[in-house]
């Protein structure tokens, strides 16, 4: 595998670093490449034009799959199930965290008063149901 081409051009007071695109083979300035912090030089190997073209091509290829996913996401039944799952996910640790913040008490003190946990759970369920309506 060949290493990428790096060229510097003096234009006035500063240099413009250039790189060869891995897709189209054109030599372009770094500003024509998307940033990629995980890469050694900090930019993608393909230029913005080539990346956008590849993304558009993928969208066309999987158009039906994307449509199905968006239908499922916006479906009222699915939304209702998601909301019910959120209400059920009021875990003890989450409620303890809220109570510690609200009343500035320790977990041991909270565990001594089990009614406090149940009251907070009911309060949160009602609050979420009211926000939904």
**In this structure, are residues 92 and 118 in contact, taking their beta carbons and an 8 Å threshold?**
no
Residues 93 and 48 in one domain: no
Asked if residue 66 is part of any domain, the answer here is no
* Domain residue limits at 112: 75-132
In this prediction, residue 87 carries a pLDDT of 65
Q: What is the mean pLDDT of residues 21-33?
A: 93
Residue 3: pLDDT over 90: no
Asked if residue 68 is part of any domain, the answer here is no
> Which DSSP category does 93 fall into?
H
Asked if residue 86 is part of any domain, the answer here is yes
Question: Residue for token digits 């309060």?
Answer: 123
Report how many domains make up the chain: 2
Residues 25 and 50 in one domain: yes
**In this structure, are residues 5 and 27 in contact, taking their beta carbons and an 8 Å threshold?**
yes
Asked if residue 121 is part of any domain, the answer here is yes
- Which pTM value belongs to this model? 0.44
Give the side-chain half-sphere CA count within 13 A for 30.
12
Integer CA distances (angstroms), 80 to 17, 70, 128, 129, 132, in order? 53, 16, 12, 11, 10
């Amino acid at each position: 595998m060949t290493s990428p081409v790096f060229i510097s051009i003096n234009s006035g007071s500063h240099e413009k670093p250039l790189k060869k695109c891995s897709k189209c083979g054109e030599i372009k300035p770094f500003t024509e490449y998307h940033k990629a912090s995980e890469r050694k030089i900090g930019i993608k190997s393909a230029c913005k034009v080539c990346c956008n073209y590849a993304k558009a091509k993928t969208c066309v290829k999987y158009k039906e799959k994307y449509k199905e996913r968006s239908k499922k996401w916006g479906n009222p039944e699915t939304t209702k199930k998601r909301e019910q799952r959120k209400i059920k996910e009021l875990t003890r640790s989450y409620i303890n965290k809220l109570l510690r913040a609200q009343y500035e008490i320790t977990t041991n003190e909270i565990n001594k008063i089990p009614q406090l946990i149940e009251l907070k759970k009911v309060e949160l369920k009602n609050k979420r149901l009211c926000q939904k309506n």
